[in-house]
Structure 1
């Protein structure tokens, strides 16, 4: 077959050369691509009649051309290898599929948590978990200070919680510090939206979309702590997210749902025209896989999780 192509090519060159010599007296121009120049590209167009092509116009038949895609990072008029492309780290021919946070480290090799398994923040150590290419704290926030070091007022009495119109936090059982390691703290909405930030630098309180996407992809049971975790719940915890039933505090300062509900603040503010109300979004999980997306007043106290920023 190759010998036949050589014969055809030789004949084509002879015919093409003869055509070029006679072009001044011929009604048919050999400038087949009409670029004003009779050259190799015109010859290659002629050769397509014999069953081959040169789609990238590099002077090499596609049947023997190793790379015909001009978008390939190794494209060359005389390629020595098959087409290769830039990976997520801009390496030609590399094998990194994603680098979501743009840190120059491949998520496939290091994960969205960059190979880290824990994070020490404001006096507490937190486990980290990578879920669907995002890095999460695997425990509820326990911090008593904002990310800039300012203290968050601790509220120990129900009546003080009701009258609070600024950032504050408490524990799942008022004045019972034994619960904080397992269940974290409960923060009001004013603390969540405070621009001093509850989460570590480079981390944020998740949006309602990020929380709902997590649950939609994995399911409620997959993010709830299992019966084998400490504290135990009746999920499968197949993701390692370890949602725990820390309950909540309503706007009257009464605590509910301990050991039965996990309610996590989102960062989204919802505004209602009538009556004029501004609420903060959140997600509710119970032991029966019930899921609810809601919005409560800033006077509620709920758990906080942090998600690593992607940029």
Structure 2
């Protein structure tokens, strides 16, 4: 099976390689910390229906072998640039002398349909051995189809009183498409489910794994497009995480717009102020590194933060 290596990843950082209606391989444009750069890697599909991350081959002919427990990759010696690779006997090879047919590519995305009208599609990015949403959640319904309460920024009393899950209403459609909604912590803990099917809000352990695989530096995670961060704060987005400076919502105000953003985690703990809350991942415009909150630094459920989910 011949696979033409793509050069355009505008439709998604992860592409499915399809043959006769079946996925036979995966192409990922990903950041690998051990070589500190972004590369295109092709992985065959394993017997479990997932990409076999121990059998990767880059577009320059280097082997990529991931240690799934350590979340680290060993990258072999590079050769010449490849335009085509081949899937044969569960492996990715750089040349093949027999007859072959051409595979097709399609973006690996999340199709998230909830209720009657809540329809969203999200790009996916591979960082280390994890797969993440490359966009902020935009859902207005829980996974079971029931509505999430929509509360405007001026309705602080209603926001603080909500314990069933709410998102901060937005009338700026264009900004919503890149920034998503900000949700209170009760959306994360709701049994109705906030994550798309097959995905979950990350635990502290999963957030820490992301931070490490992404090289720690905030610049690696921040969106590089104009208007996503204040001047001088834009990142290189080498991980493809594409974090947008949405700010955070608390006490009736959005603070840190264009200079800061938080993402909810799912780990419940109690802060040093004895307030129960959830873990977070913070990407700040002036901080050197991204930060994962510790047990004493959890955020109360009444904060409004963005949500990114990780594949189960």
Q: Same fold (TM over 0.5)?
A: yes
- Equivalent position to 2:109, from 105, 114, 118: 118
The residue number in structure 2 matching 1:297 is 300
Whether contact under 8 Å (2:262, 2:283) holds in the other structure is: yes
The residue number in structure 2 matching 1:106 is 52
Shift of 1:222: 1.1
Q: How does 1:31-50 map to 2 (within 5 A)?
A: none
Instruction: Please give the secondary structure, in 2, of the residue aligned with 1:237.
Output: coil
The residue number in structure 2 matching 1:284 is 282
Shift of 1:168: 0.4
The residue number in structure 2 matching 1:76 is none
Structure 1 gaps of 5+ residues are 1-95
Shift of 1:291: 3.4
The residue number in structure 2 matching 1:224 is 222
Shift of 1:147: 1.1
Change in Cα spacing, 1:283 to 1:104, as seen in structure 2 (3 Å) is closer
Listed one character per residue, the Cα deviations across residues 159-179 of structure 1 (whole Å, up to 9, x for unaligned) are 3212222210014xx543442
Instruction: Report whether the alignment pairs 1:308 with 2:311.
Output: yes
The residue number in structure 2 matching 1:163 is 161
Distance 2:187 2:205 in 1: 20
The residue number in structure 1 matching 2:265 is 266
Shift of 1:158: 2.8
Shift of 1:102: 3.7
Shift of 1:105: 4.5
Distance 1:178 1:98 in 2: 37
Instruction: Please give the secondary structure, in 2, of the residue aligned with 1:266.
Output: strand
Listed one character per residue, the Cα deviations across residues 208-255 of structure 1 (whole Å, up to 9, x for unaligned) are 2211221123222211111x46745611111111011111111x2221
Distance 1:193 1:181 in 2: 24
The residue number in structure 2 matching 1:211 is 207
- Equivalent position to 1:196, from 179, 192, 195: 192
Give me the TM-score of the superposition, normalised by structure 1: 0.59
The residue number in structure 1 matching 2:77 is none
Listed one character per residue, the Cα deviations across residues 252-311 of structure 1 (whole Å, up to 9, x for unaligned) are 222111111110000100035x864311111211112353323111111100001100xx
Distance 1:268 1:135 in 2: 19
Shift of 1:192: 0.8
Equivalenced residues, count = 207
Change in Cα spacing, 1:209 to 1:115, as seen in structure 2 (3 Å) is farther
The structure carrying a bigger strand percent of its residues is 2
Listed one character per residue, the Cα deviations across residues 133-176 of structure 1 (whole Å, up to 9, x for unaligned) are 211110000000111111111111233212222210014xx543
- Whose RCO is larger (CA < 8 A, sep 6+)? 2
Shift of 1:116: 4.3
Change in Cα spacing, 1:134 to 1:217, as seen in structure 2 (3 Å) is closer
**Structure with greater Cα Rg:** 1
Listed one character per residue, the Cα deviations across residues 21-73 of structure 1 (whole Å, up to 9, x for unaligned) are xxxxxxxxxxxxxxxxxxxxxxxxxxxxxxxxxxxxxxxxxxxxxxxxxxxxx
RMSD between aligned residues: 2.9
Distance 2:125 2:264 in 1: 19
For structure 1, which segment, 282-291 or 188-197, has the greater mean C-alpha deviation from structure 2 after superposition? 282-291
The residue number in structure 1 matching 2:254 is 255
Distance 2:260 2:307 in 1: 14
Instruction: Report whether the alignment pairs 1:129 with 2:125.
Output: yes
Shift of 1:185: 0.4
Change in Cα spacing, 1:168 to 1:139, as seen in structure 2 (3 Å) is same
Change in Cα spacing, 1:239 to 1:163, as seen in structure 2 (3 Å) is same
